[in-house]
Amino acid sequence: MRLSKFFLPLLKENPVEAQIVSHRLMLRAGLIKQEASGLYSWLPLGLRVLDKVETIVSEELEKAGCVRLLMPTLQSTDLWKESGRYDALGKEMLRFNDRHERELLYSPTCEEMIVNIFRTFVKSYKQLPLNLFQIQWKFRDEIRPRFGVMRGREFYMKDGYSFHSSLEDATREYANMYDAYHAIFKRLGLTSIAVAADSGAIGGNLSHEFQVLAENGESQVYYDPAFDDIRDGKLNVTSEQMRELYAAADELHDPAKCPVPADKLRTARGIEVGHIFLLGTKYTDAMNVDVTDADGKPLRVQMGTYGIGVSRLLGAIIEASHDEGGIIWPENVAPYQVGLINMRANDEECTKAAEEIYSKLHLAGVETLYDDTDDSAGKKFAGMDLIGLPWQLVVGPRGVKSGVVELKNRKTGEKVEVSFAEAIERVSATTPKKLAA
Ligand code: ATP
Ligand code: MG
């Protein structure tokens, strides 16, 4: 993509309304624009990251045996009256009437609708287990939307629901989702801590929140110090080993029962990026959902439900990965892998070299943002640092004469002078490969 043709409105000044670094950087780097309280437009660069996060979430879930579908954002309130949650959600749920005076709501979550889809089509225990998910916009009329996309009113969520013929099987799937969530967050460049949590309004008997540690998190988390070593790359553990480590959210942390000695225990703020629940029969009881068992008798269906805050994840990733210059995107979610900077757009030799590198990067399958504008060098460098692409490749008149370009790693700040071919080679070597289908 040529910057001269792109739409990238960068802000020089810190927006006064943004209190935390991820919100500030998302506005300044031209990722989002606020439209009303808790409502955002996703500008082209932000949308590219959102798409990548969505793809990773979806691919990992499909690998774990889940099946994707899509439900509408609007629903009739009838099913919510049946489940008994019509009143429970109160003012968070946005309700309105259509032209026929039928009451609709903008989905805050979709247990009722998915249960209704399930009971329409699934009649036998032989069709179980089944794990269905969607990635769709949700609306919750939060009392205090804040921190940009971290607590929006409209937000993008992965919501998954599983159906089982026994509690034992639902528990097995709960562990499967637990592992899949760690794999997802790892691929997004994050270290997540699964903490035992209160299952709140959704109900059920077992629940874990997936927290990413960050100064600006809204939850307080207590955890085994091993998690810090995992994050810093000093310790490698399997998901099963991780499950054994102590971690608890504020409400459930009990110093008397905590196996980690008080002087070793760590506590920090966390951002909740995912939440899984073992539901049991809460919804299938309320909505009367049975399948037939092997003897043709009715069998009550067991459920689990699993959420991921897809749009919130962008804020969490930035909180975990930035410096004073701007964002540092992990390779797997970076909107482009490399920013190619033509230092002298009005110099014929320099432009010829930059164009040649641009087309070779394209051929090598590297997503490139090519700054072909005639802005000042200072503006170009500051802009590239701010938007945080993993690599910067600088083509200047002096280097071109001797056949070299400068390659900068955004994360380490390391700069090297290399030949055109080597620069292209190095960048394409770290470009994330697509998962085989
Ligand atoms: P929170 O405790 O942060 O209000 P929740 O427990 O109400 O979240 P869930 O119903 O578990 O949220 O939703 C699944 C995921 O959706 C959460 O783990 C979170 O990452 C995300 N999420 C929830 N509310 C919002 C919001 N207002 N804005 C952005 N993401 C959200
Ligand atoms: Mg929650």
Q: Does the beta carbon of 140 lie inside 6 Å of ligand 1?
A: yes
Say yes or no: do domains 3-323 and 336-429 share a fold.
no
The mean-pLDDT minimum among 210-214, 374-378, 413-417 falls in 210-214
Q: Does the beta carbon of 208 lie inside 6 Å of ligand 1?
A: no
Encode pLDDT of 236-255 as tens digits. 988 778 888 899 888 888 89
Nearest CA to ligand 1 atom 3: 272
Choosing from 312, 317, 319 the residue with most ligand 1 atoms within 8 A of its CB, the one to mutate for a pocket test is 312
- Ligand 1 atom closest to the Cα of residue 274 is 18
Please list, in sequence order, all residues whose beta carbon lies within 8 angstroms of the beta carbon of residue 123, skipping any fewer than 6 positions away: 291, 292
Q: Does the beta carbon of 274 lie inside 6 Å of ligand 1?
A: yes
pLDDT score, position 214 = 87
CATH class of the domain at 3-323? alpha beta
Residue pair 262/158 in contact (Cβ under 8 Å)? The answer is: no
Rounded to an integer, the average pLDDT of 72-91 is: 94
Is the Cα dihedral 198, 267, 230, 59 positive or negative? positive
- Ligand 1 atom closest to the Cα of residue 150 is 29
CB under 5 Å of ion ligand 2: residues: 275
Rounded to an integer, the average pLDDT of 4-12 is: 97
Q: Does the beta carbon of 155 lie inside 6 Å of ligand 1?
A: yes
Spatial distance between the Cα atoms of 58 and 261, rounded to a whole number of angstroms? 39
Residue carrying structure tokens 């506590």: 267
Q: Does the beta carbon of 316 lie inside 6 Å of ligand 1?
A: no
CA of 124 to the centre of ligand 1 (A): 33
Q: Does the beta carbon of 312 lie inside 6 Å of ligand 1?
A: yes
Whether residue 411 has pLDDT greater than 50: yes
Domain ranges of the chain: 3-323, 336-429
Q: Does the beta carbon of 158 lie inside 6 Å of ligand 1?
A: no
Q: Does the beta carbon of 322 lie inside 6 Å of ligand 1?
A: no
Spatial distance between the Cα atoms of 102 and 90, rounded to a whole number of angstroms? 18
- Other CB atoms within a 10 A radius of the CB of residue 55 amount to 15
Two tokens, residue 281: 């029969």
Spatial distance between the Cα atoms of 162 and 231, rounded to a whole number of angstroms? 30
Whether residue 169 has pLDDT greater than 90: yes
pLDDT score, position 243 = 81
Identity (one letter) of the amino acid at 327?
I
Please list, in sequence order, all residues whose beta carbon lies within 8 angstroms of the beta carbon of residue 83, skipping any fewer than 6 positions away: 111, 112, 115, 283, 286, 287
CA of 272 to the centre of ligand 1 (A): 7
Encode pLDDT of 118-146 as tens digits. 999 999 999 999 999 999 999 999 999 99
Whether residue 28 has pLDDT greater than 90: yes
Q: Does the beta carbon of 204 lie inside 6 Å of ligand 1?
A: no
CATH class of the domain at 336-429? alpha beta
Residue pair 65/321 in contact (Cβ under 8 Å)? The answer is: no
CA of 309 to the centre of ligand 1 (A): 6
Q: Considering only residues 279 and 232, tell me which one the structure prediction assigns the higher pLDDT.
A: 279
Residue pair 306/159 in contact (Cβ under 8 Å)? The answer is: yes
CA of 123 to the centre of ligand 1 (A): 32
pTM: 0.95
Spatial distance between the Cα atoms of 166 and 228, rounded to a whole number of angstroms? 37
Spatial distance between the Cα atoms of 387 and 133, rounded to a whole number of angstroms? 31
Encode pLDDT of 284-310 as tens digits. 999 999 999 999 999 999 999 999 999
Confidence band for 434, pLDDT divided at 50, 70 and 90: low
Rounded to an integer, the average pLDDT of 396-413 is: 96
Encode pLDDT of 421-432 as tens digits. 999 999 999 888
Encode pLDDT of 197-228 as tens digits. 765 555 556 899 999 988 889 899 999 999 99
Residue pair 192/173 in contact (Cβ under 8 Å)? The answer is: no
Rounded to an integer, the average pLDDT of 351-366 is: 96
Two tokens, residue 58: 């979806």
Q: Does the beta carbon of 151 lie inside 6 Å of ligand 1?
A: yes
Print the SS3 string covering the chain: CEHHHCCCCCCCCCCCCCCCHHHHHHHHCCCEEEEECCEEEECHHHHHHHHHHHHHHHHHHHHCCCEECCCCCEEECHHHHHHCCCCCCHHHCEEEECCCCCEEEECCCCHHHHHHHHHHHCCEHHHCCEEEEEEEEEECCCCCCECHHHECCEEEEEEEEEEECCHHHHHHHHHHHHHHHHHHHHHCCCCEEEEECCCHHHCCCEEEEEEEECCCCCEEEEECCHHHHHHCCCCCCCHHHHHHCCEEEHHHCCCCCCCCCCCCCEEEEEEEEEEEEEEECHHHHHCCCEEECCCCCEEECEEEEEEEEHHHHHHHHHHHCEECCEECCCHHHCCCCEEEEECCCCCHHHHHHHHHHHHHHHHCCCCEEEECCCCCHHHHHHHHHHHCCCEEEEECHHHHHCCEEEEEECCCCCEEEEEHHHHHHHHHHCCCCCCCC
Residue pair 207/192 in contact (Cβ under 8 Å)? The answer is: no
301: nearest Cα among 135, 114, 89, 80: 114
Quote the mean pLDDT of the chain: 94
Spatial distance between the Cα atoms of 162 and 177, rounded to a whole number of angstroms? 10
Spatial distance between the Cα atoms of 285 and 282, rounded to a whole number of angstroms? 6
Nearest CA to ligand 1 atom 25: 151
pLDDT score, position 437 = 41
Two tokens, residue 42: 């996703």
Q: Does the beta carbon of 40 lie inside 6 Å of ligand 1?
A: no
Query: 63 to each of 59, 127, 188, 273, 296, how far by Cα in Å?
Result: 6, 19, 16, 20, 32
CA of 131 to the centre of ligand 1 (A): 20
